[in-house]
Amino acid sequence: MATMRLDKFLADCGCGTRAEVKKELRKKTVSVNGKTVSDGGEKIDPDKDCILWQGRELCYSKYQYIMLYKPSGCVTAVTDRRHKTVMDLLPGSIHKNMAPAGRLDLDTEGLLLITDDGELVHSLLAPGKHVEKTYFARIQGRVTKKEVQLFARGVDIGDRDPARPARLEILEEGPESRILLTITEGRFHQVKRMFRAVGMEVLYLKRISMGSLKLDESLGPGGYRFLTDEEVESLKKKENIC
């Protein structure tokens, strides 16, 4: 890899905007090969140099991967005229071409992967890949073994084909039930339509996992963090991209 400016490297690693990075450099908390550097224009080689940010070694990544805990009330889009988008919740330093991998409804919360790695997005969303997505939901109605069986068989949601078999786990059965549902497709309003097909309404919906990636509950709605190298590797391994 060619040499690059230290401030660009730091911004690309998700350390902050160029301005934030500059401020941190002035605090003398960045070192290159053991030497403190405060000039963002310093040229570094990401393949050869050891860069420490606040004592933590940084690895350059061609792509960025962000886990966002999507809150209710913002749209899963890059731009929108009416609503705040999920991209509005992220820092200005993120790479261009970052986009959400898949969609959650305006009122759905939970795990959203945002990345510029098109190959990974394609693999996660390709209909033939059947990547598992697990949702937690509160349901108006008593969810019983009957629904578990119906969902396991594949319920008719009004499309040409019924929904693929899905795993329904009842956490709490009552006039209002709490469930976990794992589906392997991503049809429009799929979870809500599956419950409507059995005469029930989804009151609250939150995605808690996608493939091997699990929502980091310590984030809270609107929170985000970069994926760890292990999380990226595990996602790629599971989806056969290496």
CA pair distance 241, 169, nearest whole angstrom:
30
Residue 203 and residue 138 in contact, taking contact as beta carbons nearer than 8 Å: yes
Least distance to ligand URA from the beta carbon of 137, Å?
A: 9
Least distance from ligand URA to the Cβ atom of residue 105, Å: 4
How far is Cα 69 from Cα 46, in angstroms, rounded to an integer?
30
- Among residues 45, 49, 80, 105, the one annotated as catalytic is 105
Q: Which is nearer to ligand URA, 66 or 137 (CB)?
A: 137
C-alpha 39 chain-centroid distance:
34
Mark whether 105 is an active-site residue: yes
Distance CA 166, CA 30 (A): 49
Nearest to 61 by CA among 213, 232, 239: 232
Site string for ligand URA, 50-89 (x = CB under 6 A): ----------------------------------------
Q: Does 132 bind ligand URA (CB under 6 A)?
A: no
DSSP 102: S
Q: H/E element holding 10?
A: helix 6-12
Out of 192, 213, 231, 235, point to the residue binding ligand URA (CB under 6 A): 192
Strand-pair partners of 115: 65, 99
Among the listed residues 20, 105, 116, 176, the single contact to ligand URA using CB under 6 A: 105
Nearer to ligand URA, 108 or 115 (CB): 108
Q: With binding defined as CB under 6 A, does residue 131 bind ligand URA?
A: no
Query: Which residues form the catalytic set?
Result: 105
Contacts with ligand URA by CB under 6 A lie at: 104-105, 108, 189-192, 205
